[in-house]
Structure 1
Amino acid sequence: MAEDKRKSQEKITEYDALYQQFYGEENSGQLVDQAAAEILKKQSEALREQAELLDLAEDMIMVLDMRHRILFWNQGAEEKYGWSREEVLGKNIHSLLKTRFPKSLEEIEEHLVIRGRWEGELAQTQRDGSPVLVESRWALRRNDQEKPLAILEINNDITQRKYAEALLQRTLEELEARVQERTADLKKVNAELEIKTRNLEELNTALTVLLKKREDDKNELEEKVLSNVKSMVLPYVDKLKMTALDATQANYMSIMESHLNEVISSFLMKLTSTSLNLTPREIQVASLIKDGKTTKEIAELMNVCSGAVALHRNHIRKKLGLNKKKTNLRTHLLSLP
């Protein structure tokens, strides 16, 4: 109990001294009457109550003279910075805390005198050497003649918040870098795929052209062989069959005719595979028509009269569905797949 009473008395003495530092210069050398003394006493008590309330705040609250010497140092400042009130009174706060300002102290003081307030972030150092970043708010106290008397400084520790913000910013930057890197990789892969795709398309086009040329050459060769066999070989085979042949010769003739028919079977299969029901003779006529032979030429090659060829032509047109159309028979035969 005695110790608590002593500490309480020390606080009262300290707050009284603080009050005198605020107002003592203005009252020095002047006699005050009892009424004035009573007013000063009430103001002193009010100041002590306000100072006790400041001790309850978690923020660091300091009162400085115009040379930034410490006049008041609350409990929050003691806990955060590590110095007791007794150790710091009268010392320059910025020398003590090694304060680093966002701009020169002269500029801040000029702003404070003109505006009456200043806010900003300060980097300071605790007693154990640990850095601390604070959000600082300064308010200027003036006398009745508007002369600056003291500065109320309230600091809020934002070290953890700034650390979290920096960590978040660094994380966002790393993510952005990864996204950009991934985007660049994807663009590179897409570019490579586009090149490969173009190459494949060009290769496919070239192959298509080559295959078409090969197919055209094959068809052309087939047509040429078919035409030559039909125009240069088969007519004479038919004429030989009309002559007197012994059994051996007739057998050879049959074998030769069979082989020749196999050679020219490609086009003949096209005619027979479309369910046209063409007779062998009609197929032979259709094949010669396709080769551009006239009715007279066909009659001579087949050793028949022109009327017989005309009759076969009519039957072919009817079976191809052309009997009532003006479509040229040879053109139609050439168009067959």
Structure 2
Amino acid sequence: MSGNIVAIGLEGIVVAETDLSLVDGQNGLLVYRNHWARDLAINHTFEEVAHLLWYGHLPSEQELAELKAALTANRELPSHVKTAIDAIPADVDMMSVLRTGVSLCGSAGHGWPPSLEQVISLTAKMPTIVAYRKARLDGREPVSPRSDLGHTANYLYMLKGEEPSAAHVRALDAYLILTQEHGLNASTFTARVIASTQSDLVSAITGAIGSLKGPLHGGAPSEVTEMIEAIGTKENAEPWIREKLEKGERLMGFGHRVYKTIDPRATALRVVAQSLSGDDPWFDLATHVEKVGMKLLAEYKPNRKLHTNVEFFAAAVMRAVGLDDELFTPSFAVSRVVGWSAHVLEQAKNNRIIRPQSNYTGVIPE
């Protein structure tokens, strides 16, 4: 019955201060700790950017070698995690499996406050959980992580059972960098809320995975793939898209709740994908669909600022490196755990329990 102003979805409400990232949707800017995210994606590796977010600076050669060694040393799954994954029915989705696997990675050492050692251990194990489950679903024996491969290359190796090409590693590395961190989005906020109660890191990351599982947050790339496959040919792009817009339906991969101009992550992925994918027919079709989609959105929705978002080119990259749709959101989680854990560490440094209020709309009993 209070007269407090309600901000539905907490939109526009500032609940934390952070030096991890700047997300400026009005101007299309994305900064990771004083660096343009697009430049990091084009010029650096997953491990280098993770170091930036966790430690506050890009690593020296020695620091990078130490981080790589720590990640490599923590890739193997405990036997009880493998046993639990093996017991999960085949029709259970991959994000639920990942959530379960992560929840079992906690131990007596995962208390409060969280540590970088815990963060590194969990980040190293998440790709192995996904790859182990994928191998079981495909009816093949899971391969062990390789110590001579970087984080992204090893992920692709475990998923496919064969060493990936340098081009595929570079393309996926760029995507994983661009999805490591993105401000106080739904899953990151979930992680910080859990951490604010002084719960453990594993609980915070498990909650974040549950939030990312929702299709409004982490499910768009697979829907972009479905759209492009439904279009099929360049000639069919305009009539197919026109029909969708005439019906008032949404075009997947266009528009973003935050970005009101070009998504800088999409810009960077476009550069990387175009330089590495060559004459890939599917990528050529995706590029054509983007151009037609932008033209028709300007025609049908002239007052809305709808641009291609990161999910559109993420779908192109995922398809190019051969990842199934079921792996899109789990791969998102494999990268976003870096940002989630960085926020958990930041929350722990100056913690205050997050406890918003609500307005009661019911009746006061007599």
Normalising TM by the smaller chain, what interval?
Answer: under 0.3
Which structure has greater helix proportion?
1
TM-score by length of 2: 0.20
Q: Which has the larger radius of gyration?
A: 1
**1 or 2 for the larger relative contact order (CA 8 Å, sep ≥6)?**
2
Which structure has greater strand proportion?
1
TM-score by length of 1: 0.21
